[in-house]
Amino acid sequence: MIFKRSAEGDPRTPDLAGLVAELEQGVAARDGARVEAAFNALGRTLQQSGDEESAAAGPRLAALIPGFPPTGPRAVLAVMSGACVERGADAAACAEPILDGALNALRDAARFADLWRGSATADLPAPDEMNDAVIEGFAEAAQLHPMDALVLALAWIYLDEWQMAALAVLSRGDAVRRGLGERRTELLAAVETVAALDVHDLKCLAYALLVLDDEPLVVLHRPTGTGYRVRISGIGDNFQLHTLLAHALIGGGHLPGKPPAAEVVAVSLDRELPEGARLDTEGAFNLVSPDGSWIWNEGTPSDIPVVDGVRLLVLDPPPYPRGWNAGRFFPNMPASLALEAVLPPTEAADWFAHVKPASPKGT
């Protein structure tokens, strides 16, 4: 959860809707003092507000992002909107300004890094190393107007906040993920560029953008020569995929082996794992590409290659015992894996024709 709510029912808590209206009016009037006062009060109030009023505020806060002062804390405003999504606000109604803002911030962060490396002798700074003196020195060295330098520096400083806000709408809105279109490619490219600088950890945002929804998958079990057609949505990593495949195929009586426990399956689908709890489970397969290379549990289902228009996954016996803590990479993202068909032997054989012989080790 982005914001942990403090004690509710405090009679001193200002009205959230009224503060949002005050912020809207301040932004429209370009009244900096009014915006600052409303914004500061809003941050405190949101943590004490109920779900219903937070849900109503979310889209209104998101709509303010594009017009918010460029040197103001846009990222924090996006985080506030994301917190409202976690309390029930419509993710789709909040997504566009948040994701557009995240994309612009990533691009500005990349430009900051390019200019810094071209004009400074020091390594790229960590976000918490940035202060007024550092930003002033950057502006002078890069020959930028101070306001332009500040905008780029703020993008560098607040990338974690943009990632947090983007994850809120991506995790709680499968409609958001389905509707990404070209923005998915743009965001992934921007994430890759900034992540390669080895300063910001953007793995969560990258994985969220790689999540597959309503995705058909052909699964071949090499030891038995059998094949299956499944459909997956909302699966964050291959640990989760591995668990749910074992549930559907072993737990469904189609393959031999020990299925995962019911509680392990539940937390891999949509049940919340109690704070501090740990559920251990064991791997039943080795996930393999048709070319024989291993598909690591640490990766995502998007790693599975497409063959004849469908992702094709091979299940081999596990080469050694593997165990992990069950759950979802994205705790707020419900997942599904449905077994749609057991393939007839002839169709399974046709798919096996695309598969190379088993390799004794991953490549």
- Structural domains counted in the chain: 2
- What is the C-alpha separation between 173 and 139, in angstroms, rounded? 39
Instruction: Specify the pLDDT at position 121.
Output: 77
1 lies in some domain: no
Instruction: Specify the pLDDT at position 14.
Output: 67
Question: Do both 82 and 201 map to the same domain?
Answer: yes
Instruction: Specify the pLDDT at position 361.
Output: 52
- Structural domain harbouring 268: 215-352
Low-confidence residues of the chain: pLDDT under 70: 1-14, 359-363
Question: Do both 219 and 204 map to the same domain?
Answer: no
Residues 6 or more apart whose CB falls under 8 angstroms from that of 1 comprise 83, 86
Question: Do both 23 and 102 map to the same domain?
Answer: yes
> From its phi and psi, is residue 191 left (phi > 0), alpha (psi between -120 and 50) or beta?
alpha
Note the pLDDT tens digit of each residue in 279-335.
Answer: 899 999 999 999 999 999 999 999 999 999 999 999 999 999 999 999 999 999 999
260 lies in some domain: yes
Backbone angles phi, psi at 26, to 5 degrees: -65, -40
DSSP 272: P
DSSP states along 148-168: HHHHHHHHHHTHHHHHHHHHH
358 lies in some domain: no
Instruction: Specify the pLDDT at position 54.
Output: 94
End residue of a domain, out of 190, 210, 230: 210
Instruction: Specify the pLDDT at position 359.
Output: 62
126 lies in some domain: yes
Cβ proximity of 294 and 287 under 8 Å: yes
Joined tokens for residue 270: 């949509």
Question: Do both 221 and 193 map to the same domain?
Answer: no
